[in-house]
Amino acid sequence: MLLNMIFAVLIGGLVGVAGHLSKEGKLVMPRKTKKFIYLGFWEEVILGALGAVFLVVYTDPDSTLKVILLSIIAGFGGEALLKGLELLKIRQKDNR
């Protein structure tokens, strides 16, 4: 089970980086502003890895191929979560 979790973290993180690159076109480095710390590409790496680990632990796959496929799917799910959060931020700005 630990090996499956390690694979999930690595693959989910890589899918997060790939999603970040496809969205931004480059790696955006972390930066600190006056009010906020922006994690850059690390934000998508963390969300992709966490999503992959949660999905792999929840489904308990019995083969390495299933772990890889589930990790890829969960990595894209982390990207979708970020897009949803961006939409919420835009709506909050428009309502002000």
- pTM for the structure as a whole: 0.75
Q: How many distinct structural domains can be found in the chain?
A: 1
The whole-angstrom separation of Cα 58 and Cα 61 is: 9
- Look at residue 96 in the predicted model and tell me its pLDDT: 66
Q: How far is CA 23 from CA 28, 38, 58, 75, 86, in A?
A: 11, 16, 29, 14, 13
- Look at residue 71 in the predicted model and tell me its pLDDT: 85
Per the document, the length of the chain is 96
Helix (H) or strand (E) holding 19: helix 2-24
The whole-angstrom separation of Cα 30 and Cα 56 is: 28
Q: Residue 20's domain spans which residues?
A: 2-95
Residue at 70: amino acid letter: L
Helix (H, G, I), strand (E, B) or coil at 83: helix
Counts for the chain of helices (H) and strands (E), in that order: 3, 2
Per-residue pLDDT of the chain (96 residues; tens, 9 = 90+): 788 889 889 988 898 888 888 888 888 888 888 888 888 889 888 888 888 888 888 888 888 888 888 888 887 776 777 677 777 777 777 776
